[in-house]
Amino acid sequence: MFTERRSIRRYKEMEIEKEKLDKVLEAARWAPSWANTQCCELVVIQEGTVKEQLSEILSKKNPASLAVKNAPVVITVCALVEKSGFYSGKAITKLGDWFMYDLGLVTQNMCMAAHSEGLGTVIVGAFDHDQARKILKVPDDREVVAIVPLGYPDHEPSPPKRKSMAELVRWNSY
């Protein structure tokens, strides 16, 4: 299952069944988070004009621009900041705010749930995050972190190369 999921950047012109979309969103709801702080919020976009506006703020030559414009559903992953990894208003580890970590878990849960329903996704991080906040009318104390188009795959990309197990894993010490 994990080896078969690919980033999908072209989708069929097919709507997503409500039950399938609900399963994807439910997977997001059940992601683990720092002390169960659940700093993630999602904005689900089905309106063409909003998708188009978002597709225009991706980095130049971002290969996912058309995916954002044409996917039947686009999920934007937002964070409430200074919650995850914080205690009494202070970050308790040297790594600061853990919202990126928590949102990564939410996003991967959604991508895997989508995959198991026969749907494709691509995580999009390279875009103008302030513009995204404006387009989506997200309050100032939140960050828009990622855009995730969702739809039935219209291509089957071959897997990009991964590190070998030996490069990835060390045993007992570095």
Contacts to ligand FMN by CB under 6 A: 6-7, 62-64, 122-126, 160
How far apart, in whole angstroms, are the C-alpha atoms of residue 101 and residue 77? Answer: 12
DSSP per-residue codes, 70-129? H-SEEEEEEEESS-TTEETTEE-STT---HHHHHHHHHHHHHHHHHHTT-EE--B--B-H
Nearer to ligand FMN, 21 or 124 (CB): 124
Q: Nearest to ligand FMN by Cβ — which residue?
A: 125
Residue 23 CB, shortest distance to ligand FMN, in Å, is 20
Nearer to ligand FMN, 89 or 160 (CB): 160
Least distance (Å) from ligand FMN to the CB of residue 65?
A: 8
Q: At what angle do helices 48-55 and 129-136 cross, to 10 degrees?
A: 160
Ramachandran angles phi, psi of 3, nearest 5°: -75, -25
Q: Tell me how far, at minimum, the Cβ of 129 lies from ligand FMN, in Å.
A: 12
The least CB distance from residue 157 to ligand FMN, in Å, is: 6
Query: Residue 6 or 23: which CB sits closer to ligand FMN?
Result: 6
